Each structure stands twice: as C-alpha cells, then as structure tokens.
C-alpha cells in the first residue's frame, strides 16, 4: 500500500510538472520574442553608431567624436551611479528602520500579499527600483556634455563684473554646470524622498488610517535628514541665484538693475540664511523626532519667500524706481551698453561725422575711377534667376541650390567683384535607386560673372560657364569641376559601381578620399540600415570596389566634427588651385555674458544656426570644405576669443592657425553675413 501511495504521489508530481512546463515555455517564448523585437528596433541605432565610427575614422576625426561621446557616457554613468547609490542606501536604511511588528489594520491587509510575494527577494526589488529611477534621473545628464567641457577647460576673459567682481569666465564657463548640478541633486533628493516615504509606508513605519502613532520616530529622523539635505541644496541654489541676477530680464534692460541690487539681492541673501537655519532645525529634529521643527522651517521659509522674494521687490520697483526711473537706472544702463558692446564685438567701433552733399564734384571723379568701376551692378538675389536660366543643364544639373554669392577675383590683372554659383544636383530624373545614387552622383563646375558689367543683352557676362566647363580668364581655371560636397546636398552616393557616373569626362569615376568602402557584407548591411534602404545590401550594381559617400552637405559635415560651433547660413564657393572649396563662417556664442543684451536674431532665417538666445558672439573660425573629397579644415581667425580658447584646450588637434590657410583662400575671406545682420 505504501508503494502504491508513493507511486500515486510521483504520478501527481509528474502531472503537475507537465502542467507547469507549457506555462514556463510560453513565458520563455514571450521573453525571446520581446528580446528579438528590442534587438531589431535597436539595430538601426547600432549600425548608425557603427557607420559613424567608420566615417570619423576615415577622415581622421575619431578623437573629436570620441571626446564628445565619452563626455556623454561618463556624465550619464556618473549621475546614474550617484542616484542609484543614494536611492539604494535610503531604501536599505528604510528596511533597517522598519518596525518589528507592523500595526494591524486595513492598510496592512492590503500590503500583506506584497510582503508574502516579495519575501527574500527584497534585495533584488531594492536594486530594481533604485536602478529604474537612476536611469530615468541620470541618463539626461548626457545633454550637459558641452557645459562640462567648458567647465573643465575654463579660462578667464580678463573682464570683471561690476557687482561681485567675478571674472566673466565664471558666468560663461562655471555657472551653467554648477546650476545644473545643484538643480539635479535637488530634484534627485525630492524623488528619493518620495520613494523612501513610500518604502516606509510599505514597511509599516508610516500608517495613515491608524488611530495610534502614524509615523515612527525612526522614520521621522530619516525623513528629517533628507529634508535637511534638500534645504542645504536650496541654500546652494540661492548662492548661485545671486550671480544669475546679472542676467536678469526683470529690470529696464538685461542685467542687475536698481530693484535687483536693492531688493532682489538682499531677499536672496535672506532666503539663503533662512535655508541654512532650516538645515539646523531639521538636523535637530533627528533627535527631537517630531513634526514641529520641520513645520516651523517650512512655514518660515514660505513666509520669507513671499514677502522678501515677491512683495518687497515689487514695492521697491513701484515706489522708488518708477517715479524716477531714468535717474535710478542710469548707471546700470551704462553697464548694459558697455557690456553689450563688448559681448557683441562692437567695443572697438570707430564713429565719426559724415557730411552729405547731394552734388557731384565731377572734377574728382577721375580720382575715383577704381571705386566707380568696381560698383556692383548685379544683385545676387536677383541675378540668381539668370544663372539658372542660362547655365543649368536641363538633363541633370538644374539648380544652384545654394544660391549665388558675391566674391572678388583677379580678371585680366584687375581685382574685380563677381557673382559665383556652383552647379549642383537638382531633383532626381528617375525613381530608380541606381540612377539616383549611382549615376547622378555629383554636381558639376562653377559659374562666374563680373558683378560690375553685363553683356549686350543685359545678361550676366559669364567668364566661367557651360558644361563641359569653359573659362575665358586665365586667373580662374577649374581642373576638378566635379562637386560631391556642396550647400544643401542631403542624399548619399555610391561610386565605383557597375553603373557609369554621369559626367562630361568619358569614363570618369570618383577617386577622392571622401568615400567609405562597402567591401564586406557587414558594412553593406550597416549602410542598408543607416539609409533605411534594402538596395545597398542586394543591388547588383555594388561590387567589392564600391564605396559610399554621405554627410555631403558642407555645413552638416563641419557640424558633425565640431558640434559645439554655430555655422553661418551662407557657405560660399572659392576656386583654389584648380579645385572648388566652400568657406563657412563658424561662431562661438553664450547666453551668460553679464549685463549684455540678447542679440536680435529677427533678421535671420528660422533654420539659421544662430537663431537661438545668446548675448555673446564671435566669428572665431573659418571652415574650409573641399567640394571633391570633403576634407574639412578649421582655421582660427580670432585666437583671443575665450570660448574658443576653452574648446581648443579640449580639441587641440582640430584647429589650425590662420597662418596655415593658403593665401588663395585667405584673399577670399569676407565679413560674415549673419554676424553683420546681428551687429
């Protein structure tokens, strides 16, 4: 009978096991499917990262890319780790402070099942909760990579602010990152405080519906420590707010004006003292373990914040400043004007009188022959249509997408103003992938016309024109007319395929250095995911010798290498040594120059790089991009710019001296259009 009974038990266990296996199998299957979906969704990002590495490695700019990427990763890891440790420690402390016996009641009945299901896995639960919130709170720190680079490479401007005597570099380089750190920690401890309070509630240290003691003394002490830390962080925030007054917009103009200095600043200092006093009360409450001291701290804090931070400054503004605004604000307006001029690069402007007369002194016209003969008769905004009408190739090169630009060249021994345009790719002539990306791969040539004359038909007198390219002047000869990188070129091209590239040179194929090999299946797969197209993987036109060209817009190309600079909206072409290059003006900016007014960007296009808030700007860099092989060089034209000096300490290999720029390019440099509009 015993053997039969054991047999029956074994049979029941086998049946139960067989019932469980399908359930576990389904769970494993779901997990596998979810993992595969996540992997597929991540593949494009992974392959984009991989092809980015190939691109940076090919152009020799891996160090710049990894510097930015490393800063993002390090910041994320550090802040995620900090939050995780703080949250995990507070959860551990909350478990240590849990009462031995949880008070009975309706709340405990609801939480009993939680404790039964968690059981010995409480350590894992703590780990998961702390990790989940740490990733949410810390991952965003990666966006502060630029502020961190400037903070860690800060330099002095050599100019002190008139209120605190701090160097301007403190406001531009240090204040942004310090403000972020204090704000982040404050928000982090609020989240940790909420999580900790909920954990105490789960552990029975806090009860809401009980008639007896609702919070244990140990919990009160623990929460008092968190509140004390929050008060201390708020004191640090008030300390930084003192300096932020120099960028205040509440006064007559931007900066610390009468009310800021005589009302807001004392109010902030008083709130700073109150927050420190609150820290003391909350620390004392660790031993008192009641709610009276925290209530006093919060109540006093709120009262002072309303009276000193709101009512008092408003009263000062209305009763003392407004009745005699000019007299009160005059010295601060002078500061605003002085610092605005310095920040916008207008402090060295020479002013003078110009006497206008409506009469022409014909006796002096001969002395002005050179000036008058160079008067520009062709407006590039209007003549663009004539360029398009006369100098496009209807079969392929149908546009001057970057518009036409103004420049000067020596023509027949005379320095002459000209308008120039690059004949770039138009809309695809075919929906075929091979035609769009393997045949119509590049633009062709440059068109030049003197700006001070026109032909007998009233049209531009083109001296460099047509396809194939023809030049009527020896000074402007283009031996490499193919344009693979230009202004507004957004598509990618595959070269050295079985298809012949469309060009006016028979048998032409690309042999520049701006392409990446597609020689392996992995690379073809990666580019297929990057371009969201199947053809790079399956097209029969691609061989082991095929290469791909992307990031062809010259501004995008420069931005990928130096994302911390801002770029002028109008790159312009220059003929140099028989080839074509683009010159781009690059800027450094800041919104934290004390007392300086924000720049007026209303005249800039909405897509302009400089269409953002800033009150300091310098055109410190000229970028030169080769139109054939995509080579990008950064030349420093203002080595006194402190912001650029900070970047150069981090990216020393990126920048070259203006003395290294070829003279043929230097002779074509001009004043930046966007900067001119702003100034």
What DSSP line would sit under 93-128, residue for residue?
Answer: HHHHTS-SSPPPSHHHHHHHHHHHHHGGGHHHHHHH
Lowest mean pLDDT among 35-39, 144-148, 494-498: 35-39
User: What average pLDDT does the segment 387-407 reach?
Assistant: 71
What is the pLDDT confidence band of residue 395, given thresholds at 50, 70 and 90? low
Q: Is the pLDDT of residue 156 over 60?
A: yes
Higher per-residue confidence, 4 vs 81: 81
> Where does the pLDDT of residue 309 fall: very low under 50, low under 70, confident under 90, or very high at 90 and above?
low
The per-residue pLDDT for 35 is 77
Note the pLDDT of residue 8. Answer: 46
Say if CB 260 and CB 321 are below 8 A apart: no
pLDDT value for 635: 97
75 against 252, higher pLDDT:
75
The half-sphere exposure of 241 on its side-chain side, counting CA atoms within 13 A, is: 18
* pLDDT value, residue 488: 84
Contact present, 262 and 251 (Cβ < 8 Å): no
Asked if 530 and 48 touch (Cβ cutoff 8 Å), the reply is yes
Residue 553 per-residue DSSP state: B
Q: Strand, coil or helix: what is 543?
A: coil
Using CA atoms, how far apart are residues 381 and 405, in angstroms rounded to an integer?
A: 9
CA distance 68 to 75: 11
Give pLDDT, residue 25: 67
What local confidence, expressed as pLDDT, does residue 130 receive?
93
Count of CB atoms situated within 10 Å of the CB of 213: 9
In order of 251, 252, 506, 614, the CA distances from 601 in angstroms are 21, 20, 48, 9
pLDDT at 24: 62
Helix (H, G, I), strand (E, B) or coil at 265: helix
Please report the pLDDT score of residue 209 as a whole number.
63
Question: Are the C-beta atoms of 514 and 494 separated by less than 8 Å?
Answer: no
Q: How many DSSP H helices and E strands does the chain contain? A: 22, 16
Tokens describing residue 101: 């016996």
For residue 11, pLDDT beyond 60: no
Closest among 608, 570, 614, 618 to 596, alpha carbons compared: 614
508-545 pLDDT, tens per residue?
Answer: 889 999 999 998 999 999 999 999 889 999 988 999 99
Bond from prior residue into 71 cis (ω within 30 degrees of 0): no
**pLDDT higher than 90, residue 150:** yes
Q: Taking residues 597-601, what's their average pLDDT?
A: 92
Q: What is the per-residue DSSP string for 394-412?
A: TTS--B-TT--EEEEEEET
Query: Which residues touch 151 (CB under 8 Å, ≥6 apart)?
Result: 173, 174, 176, 177, 178
First to last CA, the chain: 103
- pLDDT value at residue 5: 47
β-pairing, 405-411 with 414-422?
Answer: antiparallel
In angstroms, the CA 137 to CA 132 distance is: 9
Separation of alpha carbons 626 and 347, rounded Å: 35
pLDDT at 10: 47
Mean pLDDT (whole number) for 15-29: 58
Q: In the prediction, which pLDDT does 18 show?
A: 47
Read off the pLDDT band of 619 (50, 70, 90).
very high
Q: Is 390 exposed, middle or buried (0-12, 13-18, 19+ CB in 10 A)?
A: middle
Statement: residue 3 has pLDDT above 70: no
Q: pLDDT tens digit string along 115-129? A: 777 767 888 888 999
Exposure string over 584-622, b if 16+ CB within 10 A, otherwise e: bbbbbbbbbbbbbbbbebeebeeebbbeeebbbbbbbbb
CA angle 232, 235, 238 (to 5 degrees): 155
Six token digits for residue 430: 């075919």
Task: Classify strands 632-636 and 655-657 as parallel, antiparallel or unpaired.
Answer: parallel
Confidence of residue 429 (pLDDT cuts 50, 70, 90): low
Check residue 118 and give its pLDDT: 73
pLDDT at 399: 64
Which pTM does this prediction carry? 0.87
**DSSP letter for each residue of 304-358:** HHHIIIIIHHHHHIIIIIGGGHHHHHHHHHHHHHHHHHHHTT-TT---------S
Buried b (16+ CB within 10 A) or exposed e, 469-491: bebebeebebebbbbbbbbbbee
Range with lowest mean pLDDT among 135-139, 149-153, 177-181, 362-366: 362-366
Q: Which tokens belong to 435?
A: 């035609």
Q: Has residue 474 got a pLDDT over 70? A: yes
Tell me how far apart the alpha carbons of residues 586 and 568 are, in angstroms, rounded to a whole number: 6
Asked whether residue 109 carries a pLDDT value surpassing 90, the answer given is no
> What does the pLDDT average to over 641-649?
96
| Least confident residue range of 197-211, 222-236, 309-323, 557-571 | 309-323
* Total residue length of the chain: 679
Q: Answer yes or no: are the C-beta atoms of 285 and 221 closer than 8 Å.
A: yes
Tokens 């006064």 belong to residue: 251
pLDDT at 575 over 70: yes
| pLDDT tops 90 at residue 241 | yes
Under the banding of pLDDT at 50, 70 and 90, the label for residue 235 is very high
Stretch 453-467: mean pLDDT: 86
- For the chain, the average pLDDT equals 86
């Amino acid at each position: 009978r015993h053997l039969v009974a054991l047999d029956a038990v074994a049979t029941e266990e086998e049946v139960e096991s067989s019932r469980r296996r399908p359930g576990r199998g389904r769970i494993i299957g779901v997990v596998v499917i979810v993992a595969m979906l996540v992997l597929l969704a991540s593949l494009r990002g992974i392959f984009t990262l991989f092809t980015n590495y190939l691109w940076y490695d090919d152009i020799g700019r891996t160090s710049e890319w990894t510097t930015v990427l490393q800063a993002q990763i390090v910041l994320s890891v550090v802040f995620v780790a900090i939050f995780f440790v703080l949250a995990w420690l507070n959860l551990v402390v909350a478990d240590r402070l849990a009462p031995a016996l949880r008070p009975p009641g309706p709340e405990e009945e609801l939480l009993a099942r939680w404790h039964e299901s968690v059981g010995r896995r409480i350590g894992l639960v703590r780990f998961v909760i702390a990790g989940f919130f740490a990733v949410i709170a810390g991952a965003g720190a990666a966006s502060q990579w630029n502020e961190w680079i400037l903070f860690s490479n800060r330099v002095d401007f050599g100019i002190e602010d008139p209120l605190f005597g701090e160097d301007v570099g403190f406001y531009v380089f240090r204040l942004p990152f310090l403000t972020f750190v204090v704000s982040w920690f404050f928000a982090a401890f609020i989240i940790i405080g909420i999580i900790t309070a909920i954990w105490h509630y789960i552990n029975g240290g806090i009860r809401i519906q009980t008639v007896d003691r609702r919070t244990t003394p140990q919990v009160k002490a623990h929460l008092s420590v968190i509140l004390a830390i929050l008060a201390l962080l708020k004191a640090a925030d008030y300390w930084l707010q003192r300096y932020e007054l120099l960028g205040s917009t509440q006064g007559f103009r931007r900066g610390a004006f009468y009310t800021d200095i005589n009302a807001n600043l004392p109010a902030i200092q008083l709130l700073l003292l109150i927050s420190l006093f609150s820290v003391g009360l909350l620390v004392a409450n660790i031993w008192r373990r009641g709610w009276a001291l925290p209530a006093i701290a919060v109540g006093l804090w709120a009262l002072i914040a309303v009276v000193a931070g709101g009512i008092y400054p408003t009263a000062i503004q209305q009763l003392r400043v407004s009745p005699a605004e000019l007299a009160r604000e005059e010295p601060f307006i002078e500061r605003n004007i002085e610092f605005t001029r310095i920040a916008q690069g207008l402090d060295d402007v020479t002013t003078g009188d110009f006497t206008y007369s409506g009469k022409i002194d014909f006796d002096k016209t001969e002395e002005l022959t050179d000036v008058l003969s160079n008067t520009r008769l062709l407006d590039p905004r209007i003549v663009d249509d004539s360029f398009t009408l006369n100098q496009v190739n209807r079969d392929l090169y149908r546009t001057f997408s970057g518009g036409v630009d103004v420049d000067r060249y020596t023509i027949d021994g005379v320095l002459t103003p000209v308008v120039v345009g690059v004949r770039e790719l138009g809309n695809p002539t075919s929906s075929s992938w091979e035609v769009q990306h393997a045949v119509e791969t590049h633009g062709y040539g440059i068109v030049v016309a003197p700006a001070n004359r026109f032909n007998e038909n009233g049209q531009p007198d083109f001296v460099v024109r047509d396809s194939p390219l023809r030049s009527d002047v020896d000074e402007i000869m283009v031996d490499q007319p193919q344009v693979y990188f230009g202004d507004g070129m957004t598509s990618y091209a595959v070269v050295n395929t079985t298809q012949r590239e469309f060009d006016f040179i028979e048998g032409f194929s690309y042999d520049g250095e701006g392409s990446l090999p597609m020689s392996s299946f992995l690379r073809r797969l990666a580019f297929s995911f990057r371009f969201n197209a199947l053809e790079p993987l399956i097209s029969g036109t691609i061989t082991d010798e095929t290469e791909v060209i992307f990031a062809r817009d010259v501004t995008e190309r420069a931005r990928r290498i130096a994302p911390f600079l801002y770029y002028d909206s109008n790159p312009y072409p220059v003929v140099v040594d028989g080839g074509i290059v683009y010159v781009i003006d690059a800027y450094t900016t800041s919104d934290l120059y004390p007392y300086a007014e924000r720049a007026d960007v209303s005249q800039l296009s909405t897509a302009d790089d400089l269409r953002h808030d800033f009150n300091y700007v310098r055109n410190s860099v000229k970028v030169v991009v080769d139109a054939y092989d995509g080579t990008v060089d950064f030349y420093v034209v203002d080595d006194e710019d402190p912001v650029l000096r900070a970047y150069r300490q981090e990216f020393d290999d990126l920048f070259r001296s203006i003395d290294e720029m070829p003279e043929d390019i230097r002779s074509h440099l001009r004043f930046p259009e966007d900067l001119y509009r702003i100034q």
